[in-house]
Amino acid sequence: MLAVDKNFVLNMFGLKGKVALITGATGSLGSAIAKGYGYQGVKVMMTARNEAKLKALYEEFTAEGIDCAYIVGDPAVEADVARIVEATVKHYGEINILVTAAGVSKPKSILQQSTEDWQSMMDANVLGTYLSCKYVAKVMVEQGKGGKMVLVSSARSKRGMKGYTGYSTSKAAVDLLAQSLACDLGEYHINVNTFNPTVFRSDLTEWMFHDDNVYQNFLKRLPIGRLGEPADFIGIASFLASDASNFITAANIAADGGYWGN
């Protein structure tokens, strides 16, 4: 007889009661995931470098009944990460989900880009992700209940583009980091995956939505027929945080409107 547990199936997408730490929570993607998790009953600890923005999100979310808190810090500074993780455990008692949505993009040709700009992307996108995973992994191992790490990468990680030498390289590193961490942490039942968005609406990309030539040219590579919205990624972030993804780890999952396949 096929072994399928009805209770598991009925509840495998549920996140209610879980505790999530989200870096880059003030960005368009991080804030969308934080709110999406909050609507599902997740207790959300938000972190970023801008306290005013964090406070505004906290007030908005709590007004809607979302259980959340925030702490200011830089994910590329080890002492900050240690403090953030410690504060999360102190406030909520545990960490079940990590989402690394913090990141930096400074598009420019290698012929013009400064070494300092290159390093800033490596620090924000790679070092920051590594440090968050390192300190949260220690907590998850000590808890003994497993956990889910959802690393935000990019469609650029596997398809380079003019002006994206630094950014593409940093996100390719995040993809391989997830695959390697999955090997390190699998024995502790900690799943580590990336999802890889294409261009989505944000403060940095809003102009693309209003320049018809640029927009239409980009759509030549997107079978889905439009650029992304932050809310488009709540589903994949929720799936990778849920029991429904228990047998998925070390994956780089396209959330790109078909960009990789075209």
Cα of 13 vs its chain's centroid, Å: 18
Integer Cα distance of 24 and 159 in angstroms: 24
C-alpha closest to that of 169 among 179, 184, 74, 161: 161
Bridge partners of 253, per DSSP, are 195
Integer Cα distance of 143 and 27 in angstroms: 29
Residue bearing tokens 């599902």: 40
215 assigned to active site: no
Residue 194 · residue 151 · CB < 8 Å: yes
Integer Cα distance of 63 and 61 in angstroms: 5
Integer Cα distance of 75 and 144 in angstroms: 25
Q: Which of 167, 188, 215, 259 is catalytic?
A: 167
Tokens of 113: 């880009």
DSSP letter string over 35-98? Answer: HHHHHTT-EEEEEES-HHHHHHHHHHHHHTT--EEEEE--TTSHHHHHHHHHHHHHHHS---EE
Q: What are phi and psi of 229, to 5 degrees?
A: -120, 150
By annotation, the residues acting in catalysis are: 167
